[in-house]
Amino acid sequence: MCRHLAYLGERATLASVVMEPEHSLFRQAWAPRLQRYGTVNADGFGVGWYADDDDLPARYRRAVPMWADSSFADVARVTRTRCLLAAVRSATPGMTADESAAAPFSSGRWLFSHNGAVSGWPESLARLAATLPPGRLLARESTVDSALLWALVLARLDEGDDPAEALSAVVLNASAAATGRYNFLLTNGDRIWATAYGDTLFWRAGEHGTVVASEPYDERPEWREAPDRSVLIASRDGVDVEPLRPARKETAAP
């Protein structure tokens, strides 16, 4: 299990979103408050963000706990962005431990994170994996379950699915194939999409921006919890939460 968050709003330092709040993602690496599975998130971390003058996001990922990387603290203090996605990792036993397994995963303008786990991996999702073109499978950044789920989402995005439909369809198809927890976060720098399936998801929209997170990072009363089996869409104009909705077209497994 992991903890993750995304931010969309006015320019802010990475540190002000990820490290400085009282119950920040940084603190959740060793002291999460609402985590149901596992007790710490010390198997790596990653942050992806968008610069004003670049169409593609930058990423900083490590296979060490966030608190053990003093260089990131310096980067986070001086780097500003209008959108970011960050995660701290608690690795499923047997999964690879290198930084390639740390979210966020990326492709073009997309950043993606999975907070959860898939039972019976990898055999449980073999039929879904078989629906992907060989090139898509070979292009995965890692062999972990999250990387395959991202490949399935990305395939739908490339086919023209709406992001909320793409996430919803992968959650529903994967959960039909294997028991698991499928909380996803996705952003392209302009919007945030997220799913709640098997674990907590909260959001807060304020004067300066919107945060979507596994758990609140402060005690402000504006936090709202998304219901289980829902999809959240956050833009600069507001937040919508609705039931998971499958894509209009389904990819048939062989």
Q: How many helices (H) and strands (E) does the chain have?
A: 7, 13
Range with lowest mean pLDDT among 33-42, 111-120, 217-226, 227-236: 33-42
Rounded Cα–Cα distance for residues 181 and 247 (Å): 20
Is 83 annotated in the active site?
Answer: no
- How many Å apart are CA 113 and CA 175, to the nearest integer? 17
pLDDT digits (tens, 9 = 90+) for 165-224: 999 999 999 999 999 999 999 999 999 999 999 999 999 998 899 999 999 999 999 999
Q: How far is CA 15 from the centre of its chain?
A: 18
Which candidate in 2, 5, 102, 170 is catalytic? 2
Could you count the other beta carbons within 10 Å of the beta carbon of residue 45? 31
In this structure, are residues 171 and 184 in contact, taking their beta carbons and an 8 Å threshold?
Answer: yes
Look at residue 252 and tell me whether its pLDDT is greater than 50. Answer: no
Peptide bond between residue 93 and the one before it cis (omega within 30 degrees of 0): no
DSSP codes of every residue in 3-40: EEEEEEEEEEEHHHHHTSSTT-HHHHTT--SS-SS-S-
**Helix, coil or strand: residue 127:** helix
109 in Cβ contact with 57 (< 8 Å): yes
pTM, rounded to two decimals: 0.94
Collect contacts of 56-60 with beta carbons under 8 A, ≥24 apart: 56/108, 56/109, 57/104, 57/106, 57/109, 57/111, 57/189, 59/104, 59/106, 59/111
For 238-251, the pLDDT digits (tens) are 999 999 987 555 44
**How far apart are alpha carbons 85 and 90 in whole angstroms?**
17
User: Domains of the chain by range and CATH?
Assistant: 2-243 (3.60.20.10)
